[in-house]
Structure 1
Amino acid sequence: MVAIAMTVNAISGGVYHQGMAIFFLPLQRGLGITRAATSIPMSVARLTGGFQSFLIGALVDRFGPNKILFFAGLLGGLGFLLLSRVNSYVMFLVVLLLVLATAFQAAPDQPGFITCARWFYKKRGLALTLTTAGYSVGTMIITPFVALSVPIFGWQNTAVVMGILVWIVVIPLSAKLKASPEIMGLHPDGAIGPPPSPKTKIHGKSQDRDLTLRDAVKTRFYWQFALIVGLRSMVWAVVSIHIIGIFTWRGVDESVAGIMIGLMHGFAIPIALFMAWCGDRWHKNKVVSLGDLTIVVGISFLVIWDSLVLWQVILITLLLAPNQGTWPLGWATVAEAFGRQNFGVIRGSLQTVMGIFSVGPPIFAGWVFDQTGSYFFALGPLMIFLAAGVLLMWTLPIQGGIENNKGFVKA
């Protein structure tokens, strides 16, 4: 299950979540629009993806992950084929917001992530980190090829290849994704024991506390974590959309900047695995806080350094790399606090918060650059927001909420 989810995330991360950053400047030039205008649909896509996450999480909980993943793969491939035919700003809005955002913002991620959260308990931090590492693998392998392909073959032809790649990888894998170990007569973590009844609920044999969304929102944990992911989403919405523009603003060649994105995710894989190892042995929230702290330092260097030389670019990519380790550990704390049974809908509701927080900052960053020719006044506030997130994550009440024989008790 981890290998399937990791592979799907590699495709999703390489062609869409980071691959679209490669398309940012070519689309801006090709359509003759400003960076703020280019940022608008990419930002709104995050907002719609946030609302879709809630729905998709509930659908995965109800109907299983394989059907949702099949739909995402089918629509995602079609979206890139349509993107290759875009010749106006209106068409760009329609394709990105109605097709690509629907396919990629939540749909490929949720089925695999929720499935792995259900298949593991003791090693959940490692399992979710490996799942998320797929984004880094895809970005490290696929995104540099996208960065080299766009100037050579054009962004339209590159989009066609990306669409076909989504179809031939994601659709076949969707049939192999199983919702939980119980439906196959197994137990979480491969534990040995009598086969569970086919009628046993997902949480019937686990050590989890299974709370509903209604119970979860009564806890301090839920709302503090919602604020944390909201603040972090503000930062990464800007970084993921504008990273090529930010590097070129600091004097880095556009193609080299694309390769640096791949390098950053190459660094991210061993860092994320080390963070997962630490998270399974120490407080996960504190490991996440330390990872985010290095990202604050990396963004500060982008603010204070002018023309970047190679060693500075490599150092910044290294400092930004822990992002791929902080997200899965954060979600693992949610699963530990609220259980596996309703993890999809709870995570989806939190991703809705992420979508709301992430819609404005990339547009603001694009507007700032259009007005000043600089990202300075866009990146400065991001350091403050992420630093606040570091403090909130460090003080997160790790017990969340509990359910005992007397009913639900607030944290």
Structure 2
Amino acid sequence: MSPSTRLRVHYSWIIAAIIFLALLAAAGMRSTPSILLVPLEHEFGWSAATVSLAISINLVFFGLSGPFVAAVMDRFGIRRVMLIALLLIAFSAGLTVLMRQPWQLYLLWGLLVGLATGAITSVLGTMVANRWFVKRRGLVLGLFSASNATGQLVFLPALAALAVTYGWRSAALTTAGAALLVVPLVAIFMRERPQDIGVLPYGADAQDEGATTPSTANPFVTAIESLVRGLQAPDFWLLAGSFFICGATTNGLIGTHLIPASMDHGITEVTAASMLAVIGIFDLFGTTISGWLSDRIDNRWLLCWYYGLRGCSLLLLPYALSSSYLTLAVFVVFYGLDWVATVPPTARLTTELFGVRNAGVIYGWIFASHQLGAATAAFFAGLLRTWLGSYQISFILAGLLCLCASGMVIRIGRKTRTRPLLVDDTPTAMDTPLAESV
């Protein structure tokens, strides 16, 4: 008797629940540096640019690790990589309380935590959704994306309260403890592929099973070859370029700098963190709905609307911070619904254009572009704040970039698609000429 029969629920949904919780916890751990920004400035006298550089390093390695992590997971197993990453997060966050110099911040929160959290991110969610789901794949991607983004935000009030009441070191130690708590869950319940427990992916026929056989190729070579071939495709550039802007206008700018920007306007740190938490709550609904819509509507048009609405929200933000709480509440609601609603349609388009087999590593490179955008915005927004004394120019530039991305995404698939993308199609490596070349 299979696990799905005994439990009267397909084991794919159990895997989805595990990944949802792991992504939620890991994202909460990644949110900690935004809480540390102001306390570190006060205790050590470091400038906003100095601390922002550490966050930028974190985001760069968080993103660049994605395609290599995807290839390593395909070769050595998802569960093994997740466990190593969680232990590395706990080790690095725990050592943070002993740091005294900026280079130690760059090493611990920049390099090590960046690499470790890169293993537990939307690249992981895309791989699991492609392995374990045929039907409801878009919905599952939406849930994973929501947990990844919401986790960065919903823990902020508690972490901020700890930092204010007991010092920033208590927030860092809490992060380390949270990583250790997730380890047993992954170790006990995580499985690699449906066939390992004698079931098919959710909604799959027997013919779909062969698409998830383990890889025997060198992970590094696989990642580099996928990048080289992706760079030859115009759609890859459009996806990566628009996702660069996505990262710059979410994790990099708002996720890192909304709290200090709010404090510049007289809003307390805990209140500002609570605003980010509310954005995370609205994101949970917005991104889940986005995943549901990505199964039904042309994903290019979804992305066009998402980037356009986000751009309008960011152009409103400088006025909202200087205006009434009602105007700021309007920003929180609309921006929250759109926070990472772009992820499900971007991941879905990647799978449809490049095929299930290649989607994990290709999406890893596209996600690396997302994090490079985030790192760029995190550093330069802090630099502009140091030079100009405010974030107003940063918010306006981010809004204009989103409007540019809205025009970019509508061109995706025009040259490579020989027929309309059907939402009920099961993508294969032969779906498009581009996928066949990869």
TM-score when scaled to structure 2? Answer: 0.84
Letter in 2 for 1:161: T
Tell me: CA distance 1:266–1:359, structure 2 relative to 1, closer, same or farther (3 Å): closer
Offset of 1:50 from its aligned partner? 2.4
Structure 2 residue aligned with 1:209 = none
Correspondent of 1:328 among 338, 344, 351: 344
**Aligned residue number for residue 212 of structure 2:** 202
Q: Name structure 1 gaps, 5 residues minimum.
A: 205-211
Superposed displacement of residue 342, structure 1: 2.4
Q: How does 1:385-400 map to 2 (within 5 A)?
A: 385-397=401-413
Instruction: Give 1:360's aligned residue.
Output: 376
**Alpha-carbon separation, structure 1, partners of 2:435 and 2:149:** 39
Aligned residue runs from structure 1 range 66-81, under 5 A: 66-81=79-94
Quick check: 1:20 aligned with 2:33? Answer: yes
| Aligned equivalent of 2:393 | 377
Question: Greater CA deviation, 225-234 or 301-310?
Answer: 301-310
Q: Distance in 2 between matches of 1:286 and 1:371?
A: 38
CA distance in 1, matches of 2:78, 2:72: 8
**What is residue 430 of structure 2 aligned with on the other side?**
403
Separation (CA, whole Å) in 1 of partners of 2:324 and 2:254: 19
Deviation at 1:139, TM superposition (A): 4.1
Q: How high is the sequence identity, in percent, across the aligned residues?
A: 19
Partner of 2:310: 295
SS in 1 for 2:114: helix
SS in 1 for 2:312: helix
- Residues 134 and 204 of structure 2 are in contact (CA less than 8 Å); yes or no, is this contact kept in structure 1? no
In structure 2, the CA distance between the partners of 1:343 and 1:354, relative to structure 1 (3 Å rule), is same
Instruction: Name 1:51's counterpart in structure 2.
Output: 64
The answer for the alignment partner of 2:197 in structure 1 is 184
SS at match of 1:325: coil
Residue equivalent to 1:260: 275
Q: Is the 2:154–2:276 contact (alpha carbons within 8 Å) kept by the matching residues of 1?
A: no
Aligned match of 1:7: 21
Give the whole-Å Cα distance in 2 for the aligned partners of 1:44 and 1:169.
25
* Number of equivalenced pairs: 401
Q: Equivalent residue of 2:73, what SS?
A: helix
Amino acid at match of 1:368: L
Cα distance in 1 for residues equivalent to 2:123 and 2:38: 29
Displacement of 1:35 in angstroms is: 0.6
**Aligned match of 2:356 in 337, 340, 350?**
340
Residue 160 of structure 2 is aligned to residue 142 of structure 1: no
What TM-score do you get using the length of structure 1 for normalisation? Answer: 0.89
- 1:409 CA drift (Å): 6.2
User: How far did 1:40 drift?
Assistant: 0.7
Shift of 1:163: 0.6
Deviations 1:78-98, CA, capped at 9 Å, x for gaps: 111111222222221221223
Residue 128 of structure 1, CA deviation: 0.7
Residue of structure 1 equivalent to 2:261 = 246
- Helix, strand or coil for the counterpart of 2:282? helix
CA distance in 2, matches of 1:76, 1:340: 30
1:234 corresponds in structure 2 to 248
